[in-house]
Structure 1
Amino acid sequence: MTPPRPSKRLTSDRRGQTLQDYVIGVSIFLLTTAFVVGFIPTLFTPFTAPVDASQTAQADRYAAEVLSEVTQPDSKNALAGAETDSFFANESNLDGIPTAEQSDVNVTLVDGNGTVQQTVGPPYQSESTAAATRVVVPESGYVGNYTCTATCRIEVRLW
């Protein structure tokens, strides 16, 4: 009796890694990497607080207070030149207007072309912010620190 022969299939199957195996492995790796890169940033998104309605209302109230300090008493939207200059000259004027919570405030006077005329408060640095804007007209005949011709905007940002 002769001993059984080993199967040729088992001994000749020395193919190693084929191109198809390599492509499947690399594809799985790339899909996993793309998923991780796409998913990880969403883990940190909840930690950036959105602006809620109370902050927007606070910005509106703050803008109304600023407007009452820099406009003429008989007009709701005509700037009083001297009062406007003194408001923007001293950052401590922002402390006189109360805020509900500890907030940084920036008030900016912008002309009709978008050019910043005056600003007071720490510079805004692209954080989530509550903002309010009021359109005002310059005092007729005033020559001072701002050069608005027809209209200006007072922009208030709280963050």
Structure 2
Amino acid sequence: MVGERQQGRPGGNGTRLGRWDGPDDRGQTLHDYTVGISLFIITLSTVLAGLFGFVGPLSTGVGSEEVSQSDRIATTVVQNLTTGRQPNELHAGRLSAMLALSESELRTRWGLQGSAQFNVTLTTLNGSRIVSHGGSKLAAGPRYQGNAAGTTARIVTLGDGTCRPGCRLAVRTW
């Protein structure tokens, strides 16, 4: 019987070379290959997502300097232009006059470096439109394009009743 099993095989010494003898001697099937590749792709995706999630917050481009500048500007505007009647109620005329100043005058007033960009905008609470006073929009600085910026917002009202129940003073620096 041993001689019969070895018959027809190269070498004739009981080794199995390249011949399928039944279900116990199967090779890699399509299912094995598919499962292996799927696990590899899932593992690779998980590792890459974790790596980018770890590095992502480090590359935002907004530093503490931009955040502190925007906070300082917002605080200065609210403190210097308040009417004193209500908390965060600003003089509309004085706010309009201040925001009408040139960019260089505002930089000097707020102590910003020449490389720092800023935008100050008074919008409705939902942000749908910029508030106007005396025919001019209450905004200063270059138009904000949605890039990474240090942002500070204050809810304010204007003494002339323009902002009822309130408006959002948004200060962005980048």
TM-score of the pair, normalised by structure 1: 0.65
Checking the alignment, whether the CA contact within 8 Å between 2:121 and 2:169 is kept in structure 1 is: yes
Checking the alignment, whether the CA contact within 8 Å between 2:149 and 2:172 is kept in structure 1 is: no
Which deviations, in whole Å up to 9, do the C-alpha atoms of 1:47-98 show, x marking residues without a partner? Answer: 225654x6544433211222355444x5574332322222233442421211
Matched, 1:110 2:130: no
User: Alignment length, in residue pairs?
Assistant: 149
Matched, 1:47 2:67: no
CA separation of 1:38 and 1:56: change in aligned 2, threshold 3 A: closer
Q: How far apart, CA to CA, are the structure 1 residues paired with 2:172 and 2:99?
A: 15
Q: In the alignment, what sits opposite 2:100?
A: 89
Q: Point out the structure with max Rg over C-alpha.
A: 2
Stretch of structure 1 that moved more, 118-127 or 13-22: 13-22
Matches within 5 A, 1:6-155: 6=12, 7=14, 9-13=16-20, 17-42=28-53, 44-45=55-56, 46-49=58-61, 51-52=63-64, 55-72=66-83, 77-92=88-103, 93-95=105-107, 96-99=109-112, 102-115=115-128, 116-117=130-131, 118-122=138-142, 123-131=144-152, 133-140=153-160, 147-155=162-170
CA separation of 1:49 and 1:10: change in aligned 2, threshold 3 A: same
Q: How far apart, CA to CA, are the structure 2 residues paired with 1:28 and 1:137?
A: 58
Q: How far apart, CA to CA, are the structure 2 residues paired with 1:114 and 1:48?
A: 24
Q: Can you give the 5+ residue segments of structure 2 that lack an aligned partner in the other structure?
A: 132-137
CA separation of 1:47 and 1:17: change in aligned 2, threshold 3 A: same
Q: Can you give the 5+ residue segments of structure 1 that lack an aligned partner in the other structure?
A: 142-146
